[in-house]
Every structure is written in C-alpha cells, then in structure tokens.
Chain A
Amino acid sequence: MMDSDEHREDRLRQMTCQLGQMLRPDGDTTLFMGDTCATVAVYGPGEVKMNKELLDKATVEVVYRSKSGLPGCAEKMIERLICNTYQTAILTQLHPRSSVSLTIQEIQNSGSFLACCINASCLALLDASVSMKFLVAAVSCIIDNDGNIVLDPNRKQEKTARSSLTFVFDNKDKKIVTINAKGDYRIEELNRCLALCKEASVAIFDFYRESMKKKLSKSMNTLKGDPES
C-alpha cells in the first residue's frame, strides 16, 4: 500500500486544488484529498432544457462520470445526493428558468470519495461565482471492527470498516445538510462520529478560503500586469 496515503487517524489528509484549468466551463476544480481526486466543471446559470425548466427557481443538474464502465443505479444515487445537497446550498431563486450544471469526473478513488466530490463541487461553484446560501463541506469517517473512528479513511481502511459515514455541514450554523451513513452502529457511535466530523469541517472551510484567496490575489496581480504571476 502506498505510504503517502497513510495519515493520522484523527486528521484529514493533505488537500490541494487547482482552479480554473479549463477554458470552456464557468468554473472548474481538480481537488486532491490525499490521493483521492475528482474534477468538477460548472456551467451556469445558463440555458435549461425545456422539460427541466422550473418557473420559480434554477434547476440544478449533476452528472457523475466514473473512471470506467457504464453508469448504473449506484451512480444515480450519488448524483441524486449531490444534486439535492446543492439545490439547498445554491440560491436557486435568484435565477428562475435557468440551469446550473455540475459535471463530476472521478480521477482516483482512494477512499472518502463522496466527500471529495462534494467538496470539489463547492470549490467549482465558488470558482464560477454562483450565489450560494451557505458553503458546504463534506467529511467522511469510518468505524473499524474494534470500534475506533478513523477520519477521512483511505481505500484500505474503508474496505475493512464496519461502517462508513459521510456528513455534510453548512458553514453558517454548522447544521447537517446531508448524511449518508452505512453499516451498523450504536447511536452513541454515530454521535461521536458526528462531533468529530463537525470539528474537521472547519479545516475544509479554511481550505476553501485559502484557495479562493490564492486565486483572487493571482488575478489581481494579472490585472496589474505583474510579470511574477
């Protein structure tokens, strides 16, 4: 197993991201969380297909592409989950009769993949300057067979886990937007995971801030004609 993906059990893996690599989309991100990586492209708010048009708000569309194979029911479920999450987060009422579309491409799944997809989507929406009610951050954790909680697990840890839980928090009141918790666990265990993930979500919100700061200071330098940028 790769050593680079080993990490302390109560901390998130190293995150890095690249914004605005692609020319056509309004916003895009490639986010690494450890070795897990996803690319998200955002178009919107833009034109909407007639049958998906909503009169009072924007339609959020999510397309998830796995690395190989045809999309099945499991992929549909991921799409649905991410779509519902962002329908709440995006201020859809601002853009009636238009669409915001997210395309998520799996690059590498080394554990906590759903969390990576959700966080990458949030960064891409920030990059596209889509108005949002609040930002969201997703954190995964697992409970292993001895009852230990491991935050942001890698693939190996995920496979041997008794249960795997993903929580999505908003940055306003740290309330829970999305839960996807599978396995078998007692209520106290779930509460412990919840508290741990909530604490860790702060680091992700800080990471968003840092990434956007870097991107915006770069574009400021370009405006000034700074040769360093």
Chain B
Amino acid sequence: MVDHFKIARPLEFYEKFIQQEVRPDGRELGEFRSTVCNLSCITTANGSALIKIGNTTIICGIKAELASPASEEPCKGFIIPNLELSPMCSSRFRSGPPGEQAQVASQFLADVIKNSKCVDLETLCVESGKLVWVLHCDLICLDYDGNITDASILALIAALQTTKLPKVKLNEDTDKFETFESDLVSLALLSHPVSTTFSILGDQILIVDPTSEEESLSMGTITIVALVDKICMVYKPGGNPIASEQLPTLFERAIERGKEVRSLVDKTFSSAS
C-alpha cells in the first residue's frame, strides 16, 4: 500500500514525512547521509580519493603532467577538473561526449578551485615561462544517488590534499629537465572549501543533501561553498524563489558542515600517513 502511494503520488508521499520533520530514509531535514572517505586509493596516480555520501560514490584521481605555461601567465600552473557521469552510475546518462550536467559540474569545480584559492597556482611553476605542472583531476561518478556537487568537491579537495609531485631539476649537461620520482613533495593546500547543497521542496522547505529521488521532486537547489569562517561561493540557479531571511540558517549549516568534513578528512589523512 505504501509503495503504491509512493509511486502514484511521490510529492504527497514526501510531504507526509516532511510534516513530521523527517525524511523517508529516517534522516532529519538538516541531516547529511553518512560520509566515508578513502584517501590515496589509486597508487598509480599522484593523488586520489574515493568519497561516498550515502550511496553516491565518486572517485577522483589526479595526474600531474609537465607542460609549457600560457604566455600571459608564465609562472602559473593549471588545474583542470573533469567530472564524468557515465551510464554506469545511472540510467539517466548516455555514453558519448559529456552531457550538460557533467559540463556544468566540471565548470563548477573549476570555479571552486579558483574562488577558494585553495592551491596557489604559482607553486605549480617549475621554471617561469618554460615549464609548469598541469594537474588533470579526473572524477568519475561510480554510483549516482543525488548530490554529486558536494561529493565531487569533497573528492577533488581530498585528492589534492594527498597529491605529491616529483622534484624537477634542470640537467645542465643535456640542458633538459629531469624528474626525480623518488623525491616527492606534497602539494600545499591554502584552504579547504566544503560545499553544502540544499534542495527546495514545495514552497519553503529546504532539505540538505538530497538523494536522486529528492532531487527529481525538488523545485531548485542552492549550493553554498564554505571556508573556515567565510563563504566563497553561493550558487542558486533559478528554482523556487526563497526569502532572504532564510539564508542565515543555510550559511550556519554550511559552515557547520565544513567543520565536520574538515575534521573527517584530516583524521583520515593523519591515520593514513
């Protein structure tokens, strides 16, 4: 009976739960699913991380490559994030060139790195005007159950934290650059941005960390990327309008979530190394 109700009238089914301030999976409205993180799981990559938020699973691998810098910014390296949403993770995606959602998510990741200034691109410079590091960050969604924004940012930043780059020196006899794979230097992260996504259900109700079911019922999302005590991005692409009085509680939740995630990643990081 319950199943029939859920299939026939999914929104009403949800509203029955929301009235009791609980969600069908037992979470409160402001509660995240359990977050699991596994660092340096790909040994062949320079840095990697596997993140699970509930059933949503994203793996990130970082590969460093040497390249010549752009002529207008000769002492800056590059970080190129790319999220792949393959048909493996959900039936809603097709194979072939990246779809719109994947492109927008990849651009969002690039914006987060740029705005949070978590990596100083000048530290990726080997020799100004000649050689810089390019960090190709490939993220693959293994299981899609909503909220890939939070999961992919978490995976990307965690992977950057584990990234180690080999030393590069100029060999003066041959006049060529040589890498020393045995001599690795960790990448310095200047900040740790953490994102929190809210879904707008109905007119006014905001729920944190939506599953894919909740995403399909929602009337818009808001993503807040928080630094320790500041905000670095707020992104609400359309959807049901919200009152400005609602924003402060969202910011509070985002900053609190930032603390939770940072302590989780730091704990995993220190236990691994």
Q: Do A and B come from one complex?
A: yes
A77: chain B residues at CB < 8 Å are 103-104, 107-108
> Which stretch from A15-23, A95-103, A150-158, A168-176 is at the chain B interface?
A168-176
User: Given A73-B103, A179-B234, A187 and B251 touching (CB < 8 A)?
Assistant: yes
Q: Smallest Cβ distance from B152 to chain A, in angstroms?
A: 14
Contacting residues of chain B (16-35) with chain A, CB-CB under 8 angstroms: none
A198: chain B residues at CB < 8 Å are 244
Main secondary structure of the interface of B (DSSP, over half): mixed
A124 at the interface (CB under 8 A from B): no
Q: Are A176 and B110 interface neighbours, CB within 8 A?
A: no
A175 to B236, CA, bound (A): 13
A163 to B234, CA, bound (A): 11
Q: Are A177 and B107 interface neighbours, CB within 8 A?
A: no
Q: Smallest Cβ distance from A149 to chain B, in angstroms?
A: 15
Q: Are B233 and A182 interface neighbours, CB within 8 A?
A: yes
Q: Smallest Cβ distance from B141 to chain A, in angstroms?
A: 17
User: Given A73-B104, A184-B115, A184-B116, A179 and B230 touching (CB < 8 A)?
Assistant: no
User: Given A181-B235, A184-B232, A80 and B104 touching (CB < 8 A)?
Assistant: yes
B247: chain A residues at CB < 8 Å are 176, 190-191, 194
Interface residues of B (CB under 8 A from A): 100, 103-104, 106-108, 110-111, 115-117, 219-220, 222, 227, 229-244, 247-248, 251
Interface residues of A (CB under 8 A from B): 73-74, 76-77, 80-81, 83-88, 163, 165, 169-170, 173, 175-187, 190-191, 194-195, 198
User: Which 7 interchain pairs have the tightest Cβ spacing?
Assistant: A84-B238, A175-B241, A85-B238, A73-B107, A181-B234, A179-B236, A84-B237
28 contacts between A and B (CB under 8 A): A73-B103, A76-B107, A77-B107, A80-B104, A81-B237, A88-B220, A88-B240, A173-B241, A173-B243, A175-B244, A176-B241, A176-B244, A177-B241, A178-B236, A178-B238, A181-B235, A182-B111, A182-B232, A184-B230, A184-B232, A185-B230, A185-B231, A186-B231, A187-B251, A190-B251, A191-B247, A191-B248, A195-B244
